[in-house]
Structure 1
Amino acid sequence: MAVAREQKVTRPPLSQKEAGAYYTPDAVTESLLSWALRSESDRMLDPSCGDGRFIAGHRNSVGIEQDLAASELAMTRAPWALVHEGDFFAWASNTPERFECAAGNPPFIRYQTFKGEVRDRAMSLCSRVGAKFSGLSSSWAPFLVATASLLQPGGRLAFVVPAEIGHAPYSAPLIEYLSAHFAVVHIVAVRDKLFPDLSEDCWLLYADGFGKHTEEIRFSAMNTFRKMSAPPKSFTRVSMVDWREWGRRLRPFLMPLAARSLYRGVIADKDTRRFGQLANIGIGYVSGANDFFHLRPSDANRLSIPKQLLHPTVRNGRALPKRRLTTSTVGKWHQDDEQVLLLRMPKSGRVPAAVSRYLDSEAGFIARQAYKCRVRDPWYSVPDVQIPDFFLSYMSGLEANLVRNDAGCTCTNSVHSVRLREGVDAGGLLDQWESPFVRLSTELEGHPLGGGMLKLEPREATQVVLPAESVLQGISNPVIEEALTTLREWRHYAVAK
């Protein structure tokens, strides 16, 4: 058994979520190995070898694994392999070794926990080889750039990747790097889940000819994965120019060509607007202690909180009705004694005695320890409370819901606040929003979330396309409906509903 122990690991084994480790099904492993390997003499690298299922498939392999328990499994499974225990980026920054190919399933650790020295080393290494990632990058993308930098000229990559490669902004530097350093870049989208226990979808990445470059992405879309000895022969050639014009996203290429052409044509029309041209779109307020700052009407009465310091609020998108939020809906919330009254305290001025008692209660003592409360002055004054013209659901099932605020409510950061720009007439906005074309635009400009949900960040919402009424009337709805159904199926809404 060849083992390189780079550091003594004394901590408990990492949880699956901490390690970003979801082990690869055999059919996927065997396929990716077939794609990457050309001969028995090829030296192969797995930068996050986990329990060793990739390095076990090839006798001339090197694996890196940060988790002691997993690396011991890998050594047992592949006793002929050289297994390094430790941080891949530290090893990659110093090793003189180079490889004919690399294959595996890199850890998917989101930016919130991909931090500290490991992240610094990753970003430094990637920057040196020409790939600059934002602070929001998850771990897998830098993993692949660092791995590619260790290839021999002509080398190959074959990896499982999150489906976020098709839409996440942080994946764009990876694709730019791959196209600038490989002769072939092939991304295989798989609709059915490769990992049934994982909410995120996964696709496959193949790159060949390290040291050269390409001006296109080969893009294949398949409903169900099957074992393949080579990447799919059927693919769409997506030029790098087209990819960039579509916002550096591949997800639009899941739609038929007719729908893409129609969509681009509408964007080019001089009377077409983006939602951000009509309105400011942002998140609602962050209270820091929701249970404390949101009261039920019965509690507000019991505590004698002055009514002028209580404001009805929308706490999540599920509370929103269709089209309009009216005073009758708010009255129903009161009747049902729902926790929808925000304690809206000004930053200065006298605090009523009843409010002081509430602030000094046990619940108030706990609330003021919360981070968002602790760092503001005064801690009990919730900032950024706005009364928007419309609400927009942040995460949606069938479709993103735009609701006019006829009741004068505010909203938390679980819902988007939409405030019209000065002089904008929104008389027909709701009807426009509910058209099939705009529904399709929310699918394209937003992105899938686990569990079949559609997520629409404020930045994405500003890009939703709003055609002129005359243009809407001339759009072929069957083409749009087909594309809309396709994108919903790819985010598994039909399964989740």
Structure 2
Amino acid sequence: MNVASPSAITGKVAGQFFTPETVAKSLVKWVVRIPSDRLLDPSCGDGEILAHHDNCRGIERDPYSAWVARERLPLVPIDNVDFFTWVESTSERFECAAGNPPFIRYQNFKGLSKAAATSICQANGVTLSGLSSAWVPFLVATASLLHEGGRMAFVVPAEIGHAPYAVPLLDYLLENFSKVQVVAVKNKLFPRLSEDCWLLYCAGRHGKTDHIHFSHFDRFEGFSVPPDGEAHCWEDVKTKWRGRLRPLLLSREARAAYLAVAEDPRAYRFGAFAKIGIGYISGANDFFHLSPSQAAEHRIPAEFLAPTVRRGKFLTGDVIDDEKFAAWKAADEACTLLLIPPTKELPPAITRYLDSERGLEARRSYKCRIRPLWYSVPGVIRPDYFLQYMAGSEVRLARNDAAAACTNSIHAVQITDGQKAASALPQWTSALTKLSCELEGHPLGGGMLKLEPREASRLLFEPSFRPTELFREAIEVMRQWRHSDIRRPR
């Protein structure tokens, strides 16, 4: 169990959150066969999982949590060490393991711990992506400590159902266990955590299987044995869904109907007629984005100001035009970008603004410091369409009739095949394309849906397709699973 503590490592950064007792008991029941089975919890927190089996061993990096666990379970050996460096030197082996590994993002997963984790994964034939969270090597390292026939059960982030870096992990598990089961849970196991969590069970260490078992439930109420679920050929999942498990939340009929359209020669992927990328990165948004009153105050010439769309929330219709910009200007929104070509001679007003207090602060930011000319924002394009990067209920696409630019919080869409685009884009609001957004994108937490450029390029259009009730029901299912009904502050 990972418990939030007052230690120097905060719960959010360390990935520490309480494990519900019902979940802890279930995981132990899943993996322990007989009283003599030795159980490992590689990130034991305050010892909740260890408390449900007498013959156990705990590792916990956080000093406060380790102290709490020792006070609670004085007879249980609990080491306050980094798990990965401990794995590299230990000779201990276990019949089973259970736990809730820390969901440490790649930005905070670094140093000796990450080096040891990478080494362990490489030794086991798993290549970590640079974007991998710490829970992935936790599972690989734990598996390496199990006896033949060993079992393990873990709380895992729902990212296991969509993250590209989860695919090599699942490849490894299916190559090294005779049974692999994923249990998806809709209602949050951790109410304070925006991220959804699922459960993973693996049995028969040193075995092998070509099927992954998948089951899903609205809520987790405890199971004495892992729910078996439906068996899916892993190669089919990789071929049809790129190793994503989220589509398996849908009915067989909905999945089959979607795949049938995807294989129809009349269907297009977005990337077949458009190039999709992020907008520019200013490096200092408050400095480079000016409202009409700010531009007037600093006497910025109009030729150095470009209309821009800063955030996805501004995509309120299907067109961004001059009328919309006029409304934003009337509201004194910061809707213009200070765009200084690198070869342009600077007039006195621009020089004064660059040398102002705001300018002196902006030039110290990292992105500005590494540019040849700190004040010249690179990568500014005026795309054909704007596409929401993160969305609530529905992903919005807006035609750019104002010749505006956009920041990196919005996708810039440049049409590469006008004929295909003219045929496909009128279907943007179809049930098929809405469902495609749900299946090709991924939940971000807090009810949000995120579309990376590579995911957006896979969005599906079928010019002659008509919405069906089956797809509308499937859309609702996927939105419920990402909690799109959560009320977010405006």
For the superposition of Structure 1 and Structure 2, which TM-score range results when normalised by the shorter chain? over 0.9
Q: Deviations over 1:332-382 (max 9, x none)?
A: 111111111100001123111000000000110000000000110100000
Given the superposition, is the C-alpha separation of residues 429 and 316 from structure 1 closer, same or farther in structure 2, using an over 3 Å criterion? farther
1:42 to 37, 40, 45: 37
Equivalent residue, structure 2, for 1:239: 233
Q: Deviations over 1:19-54 (max 9, x none)?
A: 111120100001111001111111111111111111
Give the aligned residue type for 1:248: G
Equivalent residue, structure 1, for 2:3: none
Q: Does 1:361 align with 2:352?
A: no
Rounded to whole Å, the distance in 1 between the matches of 2:389 and 2:339 is 23
Give matches, 1:17-28, under 5 Å: 17-28=12-23
2:94 to 99, 103, 117: 99
Given that 1:445 and 1:461 are in contact with CA atoms closer than 8 Å, whether structure 2 keeps it comes out as yes
2:108 to 107, 113, 125: 113
Rounded to whole Å, the distance in 1 between the matches of 2:70 and 2:442 is 39
Q: Deviations over 1:279-333 (max 9, x none)?
A: 1100000000000000111111121101010011100000112211111000111
Q: What secondary structure sits across from 1:169 in the alignment? A: coil
Q: Does 1:439 align with 2:430?
A: no
Give the aligned residue type for 1:107: P
Rounded to whole Å, the distance in 1 between the matches of 2:390 and 2:14 is 27
Equivalent residue, structure 1, for 2:472: 481
Equivalent residue, structure 2, for 1:71: 66
Given the superposition, is the C-alpha separation of residues 85 and 158 from structure 1 closer, same or farther in structure 2, using an over 3 Å criterion? same
Query: Structure 1 residue 61: deviation in Å?
Result: 1.0
After the TM superposition, which of the residue ranges 98-107 and 417-426 deviates more from structure 2?
A: 417-426
Rounded to whole Å, the distance in 2 between the matches of 1:152 and 1:287 is 53
Q: What secondary structure sits across from 1:391 in the alignment? A: strand
Rounded to whole Å, the distance in 2 between the matches of 1:327 and 1:426 is 23
Give matches, 1:62-461, under 5 Å: 62-233=57-228, 235-245=229-239, 246-461=241-456
Give the aligned residue type for 1:173: P
1:494 to 478, 485, 488: 485
Given that 1:125 and 1:146 are in contact with CA atoms closer than 8 Å, whether structure 2 keeps it comes out as yes
Q: What secondary structure sits across from 1:71 in the alignment? A: helix
Query: Structure 1 residue 267: deviation in Å?
Result: 1.1
Given that 2:31 and 2:96 are in contact with CA atoms closer than 8 Å, whether structure 1 keeps it comes out as yes
Query: Structure 1 residue 117: deviation in Å?
Result: 2.0
Q: Deviations over 1:391-416 (max 9, x none)?
A: 00000011111110011110000000
Given that 2:185 and 2:198 are in contact with CA atoms closer than 8 Å, whether structure 1 keeps it comes out as yes
Query: Structure 1 residue 430: deviation in Å?
Result: 3.9
Q: What secondary structure sits across from 1:208 in the alignment? A: strand
Given that 2:268 and 2:424 are in contact with CA atoms closer than 8 Å, whether structure 1 keeps it comes out as no
Give the aligned residue type for 2:475: L
Give the aligned residue type for 1:347: P
Q: Deviations over 1:232-272 (max 9, x none)?
A: 14x11111122112110000000011110011111111222
Rounded to whole Å, the distance in 2 between the matches of 1:428 and 1:183 is 48
Give the aligned residue type for 2:307: P
Query: Structure 1 residue 12: deviation in Å?
Result: 5.1
Given the superposition, is the C-alpha separation of residues 407 and 428 from structure 1 closer, same or farther in structure 2, using an over 3 Å criterion? farther
Rounded to whole Å, the distance in 2 between the matches of 1:356 and 1:392 is 35
Given the superposition, is the C-alpha separation of residues 218 and 12 from structure 1 closer, same or farther in structure 2, using an over 3 Å criterion? closer
Q: Deviations over 1:69-110 (max 9, x none)?
A: 110111111112111111111011111111000001000001
Give the aligned residue type for 2:332: D
Query: Structure 1 residue 489: deviation in Å?
Result: 0.4
Give the aligned residue type for 1:228: F
What is the RMSD of the two structures over their aligned residues, measured on CA atoms? 1.3
Identity across matched positions, percent: 51
Rounded to whole Å, the distance in 2 between the matches of 1:320 and 1:232 is 43
Given that 2:307 and 2:337 are in contact with CA atoms closer than 8 Å, whether structure 1 keeps it comes out as yes
Unaligned ranges ≥5, structure 2: 1-5
Q: What secondary structure sits across from 1:132 in the alignment? A: coil
Rounded to whole Å, the distance in 2 between the matches of 1:422 and 1:436 is 23
Give the aligned residue type for 1:481: R
Equivalent residue, structure 2, for 1:3: none
Aligned length: 482
Unaligned ranges ≥5, structure 1: 1-10
Q: What secondary structure sits across from 1:426 in the alignment? A: helix
Query: Structure 1 residue 429: deviation in Å?
Result: 4.2
Give the aligned residue type for 1:48: S
Rounded to whole Å, the distance in 2 between the matches of 1:302 and 1:13 is 45
Query: Structure 1 residue 425: deviation in Å?
Result: 5.0
Rounded to whole Å, the distance in 2 between the matches of 1:111 and 1:209 is 30
Query: Structure 1 residue 125: deviation in Å?
Result: 0.6
Q: What secondary structure sits across from 1:304 in the alignment? A: coil
Query: Structure 1 residue 185: deviation in Å?
Result: 0.4
Given that 1:323 and 1:430 are in contact with CA atoms closer than 8 Å, whether structure 2 keeps it comes out as no
Give the aligned residue type for 1:489: Q
Given that 1:13 and 1:68 are in contact with CA atoms closer than 8 Å, whether structure 2 keeps it comes out as no
